[in-house]
Structure 1
Amino acid sequence: MTDDPTTPVPTAGPAGPDGPADPTSVGHHRPESLDPKELGFTPQPPVPWLAPMLLLGTGLRTLLAILLGAYLDKRELQGALPSDLHSHDAVDGELWIDYVADLGDGFPATYSMAYLLAQPDLDVAGAGRLRRGDLLVMGGDQVYPSASGEAYEDRCKGPYQAAFPKAPTDRPQPTLYAIPGNHDWYDGLTAFLRLFARRKDASIGGWRTEQKRSYFAARLPNNWWLYAIDEQFGAYLDDPQLMYFEKAAQQLGPNDRVILAVPEPTWVKAAVDHQAYDAVDYFIRTIIKPTGARVPVMISGDMHHYARYAHPDRQLITCGGGGAYLSATHTLPEQITVPPVDTITRNASPRREYDLASRYPEPARSRRYRWGIFHLLPRRNPGFAALLGTLQVLLMLAIAGVIVSWSNPDNQRLFSIPLAAMVLLTLAASVVFAKPPSASGVRNSRHWLLGIGHGVAQIALAWVGAEIWLDLPFVDWPWPLPVVAAAVVYGPVAGLVATQLTAAYLVLASAFNVNVNELFAGQGIEDSKSFVRMRIAADGSLTIFPMAVDRVCRRWRADPGGAPHDPWIVPEQPLAARLAEEPITIR
């Protein structure tokens, strides 16, 4: 019988300062089962993104990070850390780079991507055999929903170590770099720096970590460079970071080309938040442009899909398909202006028009995914259904109490709840849900109208429930039995119906580009994942291979008889990658 790695099991055994003990460091060999005691980490299920406590906790962490970010910002302190500039030579005449982002969610999707990235090569139709990256770049949000040593161990380090436990000795050990996303920042980068930026070189499985800060610059073969910046919630670039890249830029010349990795696709977000792109534009204008070097490729995660905006001089790539829930692609703008027309930045770079050249999943498939919300919303988020059920019970009792008092003022058998308070609470919650305070952009009439409409629909559902409830025999029972019966009998049914009403609202609101993220987050879609594999050839050309994984694996087994560098865990179902679009070559 195959163990189910998605079922959390308490991790036993001693834990070190960076999380649970590494099995390879305590004399253990290849695990013989999927027991967390043998693996050294606990495989986690997907995050229920609309769970009430998670929504509350994430909202509070986001608020605290925004309010206290300047006080918790460890980037200013990183000026005391080594300012190494990294360098990588070609291997067999070429250098291969893998890029994956938004990876630290549920085990099936996260490990599926780690397993594919760890393979010595991938045989891909239309591209041939693509070699494993000599560099692996993690582009942000290496852990969900919030950063901690234990979360990194279970959702990032553990799965990647299991996929590539040891590097072969017949070629140079691949290097792993990481840049922080917003979820990595929720603890002020404490756990991130502990894992990825140690003072001495360390490894995550077969990948060696070299960086000493939350940003880095690496020289690549044939006049290519890799720069990765840390924006800290898109606020600004700190002085130590700017000084670090000013030093790195002293080695740039007119023949050099830079692959710039950033935490967010601000080129897309600037269509709504016109200042989103300012920090990136400032970096390019002040650090890279004076050297004469070019930035032909910018790449980011954060939005959980693959998309490419093209201009003859630059490719803007979003690839956040490393394991987190899928994001929509059918709502992406067909054309963007970068920097945006309405930017208030003085001396901004010349504006360019970029066309949406490709996206994965395809728009038609993205639209079809919308309808899964009706059965996946209650299945993935039972706590959300329970919350709606509780709200419906309170609303129904308040409405029933008013109806009874109208017909018989002496009848006080129902629990009295102020109806006005419940109505205001429902409407306020619906409006906030339509436009969370953490979302970018300005709240406009669409959000108000849709939010109020959703709230009115929930109130109408409770009114219908009250009319039905008053015709049932529970009402004649002595108090407080009617209230108990409402919670036990009415609550679950009303919660399920209210969940379907919310699902219908999400589908409708998405047509107006409202709550699109919640529509997809509520489903927790694990399939349609993506990563990018790049090759710098001997002639100096850069070829980008966007990789699509249509279905992740959900059934795994341990492989105790494998070689030391083989994955500890292997799929029991087909798992393969294909090209999301034709390779892009920059000569």
Structure 2
Amino acid sequence: MIPDDLPAAPGELTAQPGDPILPMPETGPPVARVGDRPDALDPDQMGFTPRRAVPWLSPVLLSGTAVRVVLADLFGAYLDKRELQDSMPDRIMREAPGYTGFLSAEDADDIPDGELWVDYCADTGDGFNATYSVAYLLAQQSLTVEGHELPRGEVLVLGGDQVYPTASGQQYEDRFKGPFRAAFPDPPAEGPRPRMYAVPGNHDWYDGLTAFLRLFVRGGEGKIGGWQTRQSRSYFAIQLPNRWWILGTDVQAGAYIDDPQLRYFNRVAARLGPGDKVIICPPAPSWVEAQEDRKAYDSLDYFVRTVIAPTGADVKLMLSGDLHHYARYEGTDRQLITCGGGGAYLYPTHELPPRIEVPPRRSLVRNASPSQWFDFKAAYPSKARSRALSLGVFWRVPWRNPMFLGLLGVLQTLTMLAFVNAADRVISGTEQRLVTIPAFLMVMVDVLSGFFLAMPGVAGKRRPRHWILGLGHGAAFVGIAVLGTWAWLNLPFVDQPWPLPLLIAIVLYFPLSCVAAGELFALYLLIASKFGVNVNELFAGQGITGYKGFLRMRFGADGTLTIYPIGVDRTARRWNAQPTGSWFAPRKPMALRLMEPPIELS
């Protein structure tokens, strides 16, 4: 950990782990004019506010996000803007070395061949340090990784969840657009401006896709720093050299494909034929989710079966984010890659199955594609490292979520006081009905809180393990209160007149109960994850900002696709202002590595 009193070099910007900025001196530099480069992580100079990583266990955030999720589920079908996009241009993009444009009905299918580099990144828009670290790497003219010289992609594809926790204009500005503009403020001096395409994820959908459309769907006129946005809808198709295609789909809001989107991709399919190679970019790795939810892969399978397969083209790669790690499964003629390391908290890899069946045989679709087996090939971090990181739940969750621990401490203290009150009435032989009701209610609150925490990943699919884990966690929480009651009744000042016992409970019992309840919660998460329950919460509460990564893909002149999975174990936390290029550079260069050896698709 970086000490707070470490002296800073002239012009250096400092930030503690998990905190992108430190308070600026009162006599700081003057506010910059438009066009000036900032020399400090100052919102007045930068034009946006660098945000801390989202505290996913914050009670305020959890309640607000829950309301938005419920509203999105209830009214999502009525707020779905995909049908309205039928009035927008249905452009098909063409990308080639040194060239970008639109494919019209009169254009020939062939475009200039040659070598083209494309970057893929997903799940950005969380805390400034992690998001800017990835954006900074994407913006560099070239990267040298384990002896490979990898130039910046002429195209950047974003795989979803560009902002957290919920979409809004201000959140996009502070958590995505601002950091990416700071990392790549100006286009290259020579050659065309790199292009940016984005797939909306579920977090982009929480406002009905409004902010996403305003930011990314500008008909080729939008700019985010040195990148230019090109798509004209929330989905896109890009024709690449040597008969490669990238198709980005939008299948949120009920997991179906709307009619305008189907018409668009059917128009794309009219240009496909045998020998064409397709990369599909959905917003979530439904091939993994389908192992738990047999409906998860249905929409993607329908798209492949009805749109792509009749053309004779081959789907060589499915590429997604949503799960915040890197994982690859390999089949006979297809790769399935999850790459969600753009900046959000790390998601574990040690619970990934060794083999998956896609689509699952238990799918309810009568005309599903023939099932194929895919073998697990690589993950980042490795399963062993992920398993070791999971043990950090005992100290990272308490350290990073003080408000959540406070909530647990309040519940624990109230439960103990209710039990003490009931015990006093029982011992004295007085009427106890009025005091057993509060104690009973506190027990119900504790047990139900633990029960509803053990929610399945798919609504309505609660299994015995969810009941056992949820009720067991609630019972253990009550058990701590029982032990606290016994200890309280044996203290020498228990008979003192009120409000002295209440003050002692607040000063003494409350802090201890926060620690005890927090460690119990951490133990529950660790045990539950072994049974596939609350796996996301196990790492979301830890907020691990390391182990980020993205893909750099080389489409060779000979038609070969080479994928370089670039990872960084530790993102930067301290920054220096720069006179040119990116506004800020890491004080200590980030150590890059390949998450696995390059993958070649011929």
CA separation in 2, counterparts of 1:381 and 1:474?
32
TM-score by length of 2: 0.91
Are 1:581 and 2:596 counterparts? yes
How far is the alpha carbon of 1:476 from its aligned partner? 3.0
Match of 2:526 among 493, 501, 507: 507
Q: Is structure 2 residue 158 aligned with structure 1 residue 138?
A: yes
Asked if the contact 1:10–1:42 (Cα under 8 Å) also holds between the matched residues in 2, the reply is: no
Please report how far the alpha carbon of residue 265 of structure 1 lies from its aligned counterpart in structure 2 after TM superposition: 0.3
1:20 aligned residue: none
Compute the displacement of 1:411 (Å): 9.9
Q: Distance in 1 between matches of 2:22 and 2:43?
A: 7
The amino acid across from 2:320 in the alignment is S
| Structure 2 counterpart of 1:72 | 79
- Within-5 A mapping of 1:537-552: 537-552=556-571
Q: Is structure 2 residue 103 aligned with structure 1 residue 96?
A: no
Residue aligning to 1:348: 368
Checking the alignment, whether the CA contact within 8 Å between 2:248 and 2:280 is kept in structure 1 is yes
Q: Give the distance between the partners of 2:383 and 2:558, measured in 1 at CA.
A: 36
Counterpart-to-counterpart distance in 1, 2:269 and 2:396: 49
Structure 2 counterpart of 1:237, from 257, 260, 268: 257
- Give the Å deviation of 1:482: 2.6
Does residue 1:530 correspond to 2:549, yes or no?
yes
Aligned AA (1:108)? N
Question: Paired residue for 1:120?
Answer: 141
Moved more, 164-173 or 75-84: 164-173
Report whether the alignment pairs 1:223 with 2:243. Answer: yes
Q: Is the 8 A contact 1:385 1:495 kept in 2?
A: yes
Q: Which residue of 1 aligns with 2:170?
A: 150
Task: Point out the more displaced range, 152-161 or 478-487.
Answer: 478-487
SS at match of 1:501: helix
What per-residue deviation string (whole Å, max 9, x for no partner) do you get for residues 262-299 of structure 1?
00000000001001000001111111111111110000
> Could you tell me how far apart the structure 2 residues matched to 1:405 and 1:354 are?
64
Which of 119, 128, 135 aligns to 1:107? It is: 128
Match of 2:494 in 1: 475
**Alpha-carbon distance in 2 for matches of 1:42, 1:473:** 52
Query: Partner of 1:281: helix, strand, or coil?
Result: helix
Residue 350 of structure 1 and its aligned partner are, at CA, apart by 1.1
Other structure's SS at 1:222 match: helix
What is the DSSP-based 3-state SS (H/G/I as helix, E as strand, rest coil) of the residue aligned with 1:32? Answer: coil
Report the 3-state secondary structure (helix = DSSP H, G, I; strand = E; otherwise coil) of the residue aligned with 1:195.
helix
**Aligned counterparts of 2:21 and 2:492: Cα–Cα separation in 1:** 43
Structure 1 counterpart SS, 2:299: helix
1:408-557 correspondence to structure 2 within 5 Å: 408-410=428-430, 418-435=438-455, 439=458, 442-557=461-576
Contact 2:293 2:458 in 1 (8 A): no
- Aligned residue runs from structure 1 range 41-80, under 5 A: 41-80=48-87
Counterparts in 2 of 1:198 and 1:153: CA distance versus 1, 3 Å: same
User: Which residue identity is paired with 1:544?
Assistant: I
Residue 470 of structure 1, CA deviation: 2.2
RMSD: 2.0
Aligned to 2:399: 379
AA partner of residue 93 (structure 1): G
Kindly indicate whether the alpha-carbon contact (under 8 Å) linking 2:455 and 2:534 is maintained by their aligned counterparts in 1.
yes
Q: Would the aligned equivalents of 1:179 and 1:214 in 2 still touch at CA under 8 Å?
A: yes
Cα distance change of structure 1 residues 294 and 485 upon mapping to structure 2, 3 Å threshold? same
Matched, 1:198 2:213: no
What letter matches 2:592 in structure 1?
A: A
Distance 1:296 1:279 in 2: 18
Secondary structure of the structure 1 residue equivalent to 2:344 = coil
What runs of 5+ residues in structure 1 fail to find an aligned partner? 12-22
Q: Which residue of 1 is the match for residue 28 of structure 2? A: none
Match of 1:16 in 2: none
Paired residues of 2:342 and 2:550 also in contact (CA < 8 A): yes
Taking a change above 3 Å as real, the CA distance of residues 295 and 249 of structure 1, as seen in their structure-2 partners, is same
Give the residue type in structure 1 aligned to 2:331: H
Contact 2:77 2:254 (C-alpha < 8 Å) held by counterparts: no
Letter in 2 for 1:61: R
The code of the aligned residue for 1:389 comes to G
Structure-2 residue corresponding to 1:18: none
SS in 1 for 2:64: helix
Q: Cα deviation per residue 1:102-138 (whole Å; 9 max; x = unaligned)?
A: 1111111111111111111111115x10111111111
CA contact (8 A) 1:125 1:579 kept: yes
Paired residue for 1:209? 229
Residue identity in the other structure for 1:397: L
Q: CA deviation at 1:513?
A: 1.7
Paired amino acid for 1:349: S
Offset at residue 441 of structure 1 (A): 7.0
SS at match of 1:531: strand
- After TM superposition, the score normalised by the length of structure 1 is 0.93
Q: Render the CA deviation track for 1:316-340: whole Å, top value 9, x for unaligned.
A: 0000111111111010011011010
Shift of 1:406: 1.5
Query: Using the alignment, how far apart are the partners of 2:206 and 2:283 within structure 1?
Result: 14
Equivalent position amino acid for 1:82 in 2:
P
The Cα offsets for residues 513-568 of structure 1, whole Å up to 9 and x where unpaired, read as: 22111111110001111211111000011111111111111111221x22xxx100
Mapping 1:27-42, distance limit 5 Å:
27-42=34-49
User: Is this contact kept in 2: 1:404–1:411, CA < 8 A?
Assistant: no
Query: Among residues 270, 274, 277, which one is paired with 2:290 in the alignment?
Result: 270
Structure 2 SS opposite 1:418? helix
1:72 alignment partner AA: L
Give me the whole-angstrom Cα distance separating, in 2, the residues matched to 1:166 and 1:38: 17
Instruction: Report if aligned partners of 1:390, 1:487 keep a CA contact under 8 Å in 2.
Output: no
* 1:280-295 aligned within 5 A: 280-295=300-315
Once residues 304 and 571 of structure 2 are traced to their aligned partners in structure 1, the CA distance between those partners, rounded to angstroms, is 37
> Does the residue aligned with 2:393 lie in a helix, a strand or coil?
helix
Quick one: which amino acid aligns to residue 252 of structure 2? Answer: Q
Cα deviation 1:118-174 (Å, max 9, x = unaligned): 111111115x10111111111011000000111001110011111111111212211
Secondary structure at the aligned position of 1:122 is classed as: strand
The 8 Å contact of residues 126 and 343 in structure 2, kept in 1 or not, is answered as: yes
> 1:157-200 deviations in whole A, cap 9, x for unaligned?
01111111111121221100111111000000111111111245
Is the Cα contact below 8 Å between 1:179 and 1:263 reproduced in 2? yes
Are the equivalent residues in 1 in contact too, given 2:14–2:22 (CA < 8 A)?
no
* CA distance in 1: counterparts of 2:437 and 2:572, whole angstroms: 49
Matched residues in 2 for 1:474 and 1:181: separation? 56
**Is 2:103 the partner of 1:83?**
no
Question: How many residue pairs get matched?
Answer: 568
Matched, 1:568 2:587: no
8 Å CA contact 1:34, 1:557 repeated in 2: no
| Contact 1:103–1:110 under 8 Å retained in 2 | yes
Alignment equivalent of 2:197, drawn from 177, 189, 192: 177
Aligned residue identity for 2:95? H
Give structure 2 stretches of 5+ with no counterpart. Answer: 1-7, 25-30, 99-112
